[in-house]
Amino acid sequence: MSTKQVVVAGGGGFIGGHLVRDLVSQGHRVYVADVKPIDAWWQVFDEATNYPGTDVGDVGRATTLIPEGADEVYNLAADMGGMGFIHHNKLDCMLSVLPSTAILQAASRRGVGRFFYSSSACVYPDYRQGDTDVKPLREEDAYPAMPEDGYGWEKLFTERMCRHFLEDAGLQTRVARYHNVYGPHGTWTGGREKAPAALCRKIATAVLTGAPSIEIWGDGEATRTFMYVDDCVQGTQMIARAPHPEPVNLGSEELVSINTLATLIEQIAGVQLEHVHVPGPQGVRGRSSDNTVISERYGWAPSIKLVEGLEKTYTWVHDEVKAGVGG
């Protein structure tokens, strides 16, 4: 593989950090920007050119970060988190449209070869996700539109921006709709964590403190599919470099309830805990990825089963919790 010039916006975040690691390992020249200070990045690589504390919501600033004729730009910059965060921070989620638009404009000005946008399964309408035994979501199901309020609307709007930058400006945009990405080296506490990391933290804390129970929002019967971050990184680059511009699902088809997810992690941890159900944001009742398009078009399927990914994630989160409690 020839060496590429690659820009990763949001590279200090969870998925961005894993993506940068893989791009660096391939020998590419990688430029990484993130609004957070570098000590708040999940992973830092000296082989990359790092721009911490950089607000890419300004077109001029974003343009200076992108080398002329760069091969690829990956936009993962967004103010987001798990259901608890996006439920209570709709305005902040919507404002992610500013860096998304600025980076698109900057990439177009710089004559970038490929522009990848990380969209989300939150673009799918609530009216298709009302049952736990949900019908897997197909790409065409995004319309008529009624996405997740705040976060989902921003994602769907930016998908349309990508489409029009392709049609009107000739920028080769590619879009993947991520379905619940999880793994180590990401947020596991503080309010932005997603369900797998939150449950790993709760169960690890119970193991380390001897607590007999954990709390779960709602009845725990809501269903989701979860994709391990290594599969996400591989699929992201595959989609970015492919000839097809239409948005495509990038996720797993292993549908589980939140209660089942907790039980799987407990089995990994070697404990059996009481589940105390408490009020809290739950999102849609069921969400699953239909992988027909990505399978037929690319021959792609996730390589890491849920239990395998959870083992890796729990081990990492357990060590983080143990360090925090002084164990």
DSSP letters spanning 60-120: HHHHHHSPTT-SEEEE------SHHHHHH-HHHHHTTHHHHHHHHHHHHHTT-SEEEEEEE
Q: Strand order in 114-120's β-sheet?
A: 49-52, 29-34, 5-9, 72-75, 114-120, 173-178, 248-250
Question: Do residues 215 and 202 touch, judged by C-beta distance below 8 A?
Answer: yes
CA distance 122 to 283: 10
From residue 51, how far is each of 12, 20, 175, 237, 286 by CA, in Å? 10, 13, 24, 22, 39
Question: Do residues 157 and 101 touch, judged by C-beta distance below 8 A?
Answer: no
151 catalytic, yes or no? Answer: yes
Helix, strand or coil, per DSSP, at residue 7: strand
CA distance 316 to 183: 9
Q: Could you tell me which of 15, 27, 8, 169 has the C-alpha nearest to residue 81?
A: 15
CA distance 85 to 63: 30
Q: Which of 151, 182, 228, 314 is catalytic?
A: 151
Active-site residues: which are they? 151
